[in-house]
Amino acid sequence: MKSPAQPDLLLILSKERCQGCTHCLRACPTEAIRIRHGKAEVMPHRCVQCGRCIQVCPRGAWEVRSDSLEKVKKYGGAVAILDPTVFWQFGGQISPQELAEAFLEVGFSAVQDLGEALEIYGAAVSSYLSSEDRICPVISSACPAVVQLVEVKYPSLTENLVPIVPPLRILASRWTDFGRRNTEEDLFYIAPCLAQADAAIKALGKGKRLNGAIPLAEVYNPLKAIVSEKGRSPDASFGEEPLASGMRWAAPGGESGALENPESLVVDGIENVANVLELAESGLLGDVPFIEGWACTGGCLGGPLTVQDPFLARYHLMAWDRHHKGRATKGKASVDVEKFRLSRPFVSRPGMRLDEDLKVAMEKLRRIDELVKKFPGIDCGSCGCPNCLALAEDIIQGHATENQCSYILKEEAARRSRPRRRRMGNLNGQGS
Amino acid sequence: MNLEFEITGQDFKKAGEASFEVKHCLKRLGLPPDIIRRVATAAYEAELNVIIYALRGTMKLCVEDQCIDVIIADVGPGIPDIPLAMREGYSTAPPYVKQLGYGSGMGLPNIKKNADWMDIQSEVDRGTTLRFKVNLNEGKKRRR
């Protein structure tokens, strides 16, 4: 049986660059990483594609399997789908029109902004939030990493996720509604993060000849070169240009701002999101109607595949926002939420489950509880597991051994050395 | 199988830790989301009662074939009138606890709402033992 718990990961490791340090091991919110034989390994059934590992790796060892600009050129051009995040990489230096032109110069045949699809998505979320059958607190499904975090770690909250077709799928499935005539065009999403790149491949994959995702960082340099060459635009006013919609979605609060009732709990950074979800799961959020959560600190602006500092990028976004007050695109005609309902709602992934059989799982849990007492509880990570409990779990699951713990090894070594010292008449048997 | 967690009276900073542990265990057992949510909610309320009123206590999680059985035993003032304590909105929490946002008198009713079975044994000036069960198979219909 093919389990949905085994997604194909876009996340790959450069074994040359990985030095087996513990940065990613500790940062992973679902404890999906282990260091084995001196190199990091990821457990696909637990990975939520948040990209924390990419962000914290001091050697840039984690990479994203993706398409390249070379591929776009080889196929004679394709449409670049621009996430609002792309624009803020060059904040203040360029107009949306110029950015679109720069994309053509680097080899794309056309540019399509994701903003309009984001607006439709926002309107659908608005309608859903006022529907009778919603389950509170409603959790935004705009960040695919947060969705996966819920599926893996907070299974009881899967029903709270907004069951609306994601923006990229709205765009791909209603391609002609966005004023595009050619339905045979090749589409490439310019992705700010791993999770969105993965979502794009799944969303664009339907009925398209060639499609995929290109990391924002991959197109940044050639675009930057063009932008720098042209210098600062004399009139970088954004006017009514197509790229001006959905701009705010790049930063936390952008989604809530697009809703009819913006009352919401906005949280960014995967650890903070996890804390809030923990409270939600125990029913401790009171009357919070909506949670807008973003896996990255700074929202998509902080995505692991972006280049610009997320706070500088947000500074530019806010300057733009102040300048465009009152010209917000909010309040667009409401959409029929039923049209955008997901046909298959979200389902939990048993990523944390110890065993399919409840009795076996119980026995394992008991043994883990016993075993963990042997370890020092300092969560040093030198055994290759993120903490002592995870090591105990790995041992019971047959993936690790006790002497991976350096504390136990040290004790073992001390015990072995004692009798010999006594034989040597040293220290009267009182070893150090 | 059972696991035990300590609860310290008046330690509001750690409120929720024992019930979060319980929740984490249930997730690792791969139990249905609805069961996890109900046990976690009831366990949290029971844990808070210990923190608000008692000196110390323990939360014991037993996973049986048919149900999840949670026993919260504390050393504390006890409950003189259990039916009264079960009434919604009835609370003897001191004002400073209410200022912290706790002790609104919904704890015990909320446990009853989420559990399939519950029982309270209490002795004044000794302590209270609260026990609740959530059935694994045909439990209560979900309530929100």
Asked whether B119 and B131 are in contact (CB, 8 A), the reply is yes
Q: Considering only CB atoms, which chain A residues are within 8 Å of B36?
A: 155-156, 281
pLDDT in tens, A334-367: 677 888 888 888 888 878 889 988 889 989 998 9
Out of A158-172, A410-424, B30-44, least confident range: A410-424
Query: Nearest CA to CA, how far is A172 from chain B (Å)?
Result: 33
> Per-residue confidence at A426, pLDDT binned at 50, 70, 90?
low
Q: A294 forms bridges with which residues in the sheet? A: A268
What pLDDT, on the 0 to 100 scale, is given for residue B32? 87
Of the candidate ranges A119-128, A149-158, A170-179, the one whose mean pLDDT is the lowest: A170-179
Q: Does A278 touch chain B (CB under 8 A)?
A: yes
B33 touches chain A (CB under 8 A): yes
Residues A5-21: what's their mean pLDDT? 83
Question: HSE-up of A424 (CA within 13 Å, CB side)?
Answer: 9
Tracing tokens 């079975």 back to the chain, one arrives at: B117
Indicate whether A261 pLDDT > 90.
no
Which residues does B127 contact at the CB level (< 8 Å), separation at least 6? Answer: B54, B57, B73, B74, B75, B76, B78
Contact call for residues B34 and A156 (beta carbons, < 8 A): yes
pLDDT higher than 60, residue A320: yes
**Is this prediction's pTM over 0.90?**
no
How are the residues of chain B apportioned to helix, strand and coil, as percentages rounded to the nearest 5? 35, 30, 35
Among A215, A305, A246, A303, residue whose Cα is nearest residue A96: A246
Alpha-carbon gap: A282 to the closest alpha carbon of chain B (Å)? 5
The pair of structure tokens assigned to B6 is: 């300590």
Closest CA–CA distance from residue A24 to any residue of chain B (Å): 22
Give yes or no for residue B2 having a pLDDT over 80. no
Q: Which pLDDT tens digit goes with each residue over A202-251?
A: 887 655 555 788 999 999 999 988 888 876 555 444 444 545 568 889 99
Residue A114 contacts residue A168 (beta carbons within 8 Å): yes
Kindly tell me if the per-residue pLDDT of A88 is higher than 60. yes
Spell out the domains of chain A, with CATH numbers in brackets: 11-64 (3.30.70.20), 69-232+240-340 (no CATH), 358-429 (1.10.15.40)
Give the mutation candidate from A156, A160, A355 for the B interface (greatest B CB count, under 10 A): A156
Instruction: Please identify which residue in the block is written with the tokens 């600009």.
Output: A69
Q: What are phi and psi of B128, to 5 degrees?
A: -130, 140
Q: What is the pLDDT of residue A242?
A: 47
Q: What is the DSSP string of B30-72?
A: T--HHHHHHHHHHHHHHHHHHHHH-SEEEEEEEE-SSEEEEEE
- Token couple for A337: 């939420």
Q: What is the pLDDT of residues B19-57, one digit of tens each?
A: 988 998 998 898 888 898 899 999 999 999 999 999 999
A353 in contact with B at a CB cutoff of 8 Å?
yes
Contacts with A250 (C-beta within 8 Å, 6 or more apart), sequence order: A83, A84, A85, A87, A88, A192, A299, A300, A301, A313, A317
**From CA B76, how far away is CA B84, in angstroms rounded?**
18
B29/A157 touch (CB, cutoff 8 Å), yes or no: no
Q: What distance separates the 2 farthest-apart alpha carbons in chain B? A: 42
In this prediction, residues A65-92 reach a mean pLDDT of 85
Mean pLDDT of A75-97: 84
More confident residue, A319 or A288: A288
pLDDT in tens, A52-62: 999 999 999 99
Give the closest-approach CA distance of A213 to chain B in angstroms.
34
Maximum distance among all alpha carbons in chain A? 91
Q: Chain A residues with CB inside 8 Å of B25's CB?
A: 365
Q: What is the ipTM of this complex?
A: 0.78
Which residues neighbour B76 within 8 Å (Cβ) at sequence distance 6 or greater?
B9, B50, B53, B54, B55, B56, B57, B127, B128
What is the C-alpha separation between B51 and B59, in angstroms, rounded? 12
Residue ranges of domains in chain B: 2-135
Is residue A140 scored above 50 in pLDDT? yes
Residue A165 pLDDT more than 80? Answer: yes
pLDDT at A428: 53
φ, ψ of residue A109 in degrees (nearest 5): -90, -25
Q: What is the DSSP letter of A138?
A: E
Q: Is the pLDDT of residue A182 over 80?
A: no
Q: CATH topology for B2-135?
A: Heat Shock Protein 90 (3.30.565)
For residue A153, the chain B residues in CB contact (below 8 A) are 27
pLDDT of residue A209: 54
Nearest to A81 by CA among A109, A105, A111, A116: A111
pLDDT at B144: 43
**Closest CA relative to residue A361, chosen from B31, B19, B22:** B31
Residue A135: CB atoms within 10 A of its CB come to: 14
Task: Tell the burial category of A431 from Cβ atoms under 10 Å away from its Cβ (0-12, 13-18, 19+).
Answer: middle
**φ and ψ at residue A182, rounded to 5 degrees:** -80, 110
**Are B82 and B109 within 8 A, CB to CB?**
no
pLDDT for B134 beyond 90: yes
Question: Over pLDDT 70: what percentage of chain A?
Answer: 88
Query: Is a pLDDT exceeding 90 seen at residue A331?
Result: no
Cβ proximity of A270 and A293 under 8 Å: no
Q: How far from A23 is each of A19, A26, A407, B103, CA to CA, in Å?
A: 10, 6, 20, 42
CA pair distance A172, A47, nearest whole angstrom? 26
User: Binning pLDDT at 50, 70 and 90, where does residue A1 land?
Assistant: very low
Between CA A173 and CA B87 the distance in angstroms is 54
Dihedral sign (CA A261, A262, A268, A272)? negative
**Per the omega criterion (within 30 degrees of 0), is the bond before A222 cis?**
no
In this prediction, residues A137-148 reach a mean pLDDT of 96
